[in-house]
Amino acid sequence: MPLPLPRPPALLKGLVTIVLAAAFAAQAVAALLPHVPLLIAATTVSLATEGALYRWQRVVLSLFAKSHADISVRHVLRDLLLVVGLLRLGEQDRETVYAPLVAGLLAFYVLHCAIQALSVLVRRTRTLPVVTRNIDASALRLSPAPSVLLRRPGHRLLVFGLPATAGLLAAAPGDDPVYAAAGIALSLALALTGLGALLFRLLPGRRPAGEQEVLAWFDAWLAEYRPTVGLYFSGGASSAYQANMWLEPLAGLDGKPVIVLRERFMVQKIAPTDIPIVCLPKVSTLMRLEHSTLQVLIHPSNSGKTSQVLRIPTIRHTFVNHGESDKLSSCNPYAKAYDEVWVAGPAARERYALAEVGVEDKDVVETGRPQLDAVQPYAGPPAGTYTTVLYAPTWEGWDGNPGNTSVIAAGENLVRALLADPGVRLLYKPHPLTGSVDPRAGAADLRIRELIRSANRERTGARRPTAGAELARLTEELDRLTTADFRAGADTLERMRVQSAPEPGRAEAVARATAAWEEAYWASLPEGEHQIITDARPALYSCFNVADLLISDVSSVISDFLASEKPYAVANTSGLPEEAFRTAFPTVAAATVLTPDATGVPSLLETVRHPEKDVLAEARAELKLRLLGPADPPSQERFNAAVQALCAQARDHRARVAERLAAEQPAAELPGQRTQPASGGAGLPTTAPR
User: Which pLDDT tens digit goes with each residue over 410-467?
Assistant: 999 999 999 999 999 999 999 988 998 999 999 999 999 999 999 999 987 645 555 5
Q: How far apart are CA 404 and CA 395, in angstroms?
A: 7
Q: What is the CA radius of gyration of the chain?
A: 31
Triad 658, 256, 260: Cα angle to 5°? 85
pLDDT tens digit sequence for 616-674: 999 999 999 999 999 889 999 999 999 999 999 999 999 999 898 888 866 555 555 55
Tell me the angle at which helices 346-355 and 617-628 cross, rounded to the nearest 10 degrees. 70
What is the C-alpha separation between 459 and 528, in angstroms, rounded? 8
- Rounded Cα distance, 48 and 470, in Å: 43
DSSP state, residue 432: T
CB hemisphere CA count around 658 (13 angstroms): 14
Distances (CA, A) of 576 to 258, 382, 585: 45, 33, 11
Q: How many CB atoms lie within 10 A of CB 613?
A: 10
Q: Average pLDDT of the chain?
A: 88
DSSP state of 670: S
Pairing of strands 277-279, 131-133: antiparallel
pLDDT number for residue 486: 80
Angle of the 10-32 helix axis to the 36-56 helix axis, nearest 10: 150
Residue environment code for 361-380, b if the CB has 16+ CB neighbours within 10 A, otherwise e = eebbbbbbbbbbbbbeeeee
- End-to-end CA distance of the chain: give it in Å, rounded: 37
Q: Which residues of the chain have pLDDT under 50?
A: 1-8, 462, 675-690
| pLDDT score at 464 | 54
Closest CA to 428 of 535, 524, 567, 515: 535
For the domain spanning 374-465+526-628, the CATH number is 3.40.50.2000
Residue 90 CA from chain centroid, whole number: 59
Domain range summary for the chain, segments of one domain joined by + = 10-126+155-201, 374-465+526-628
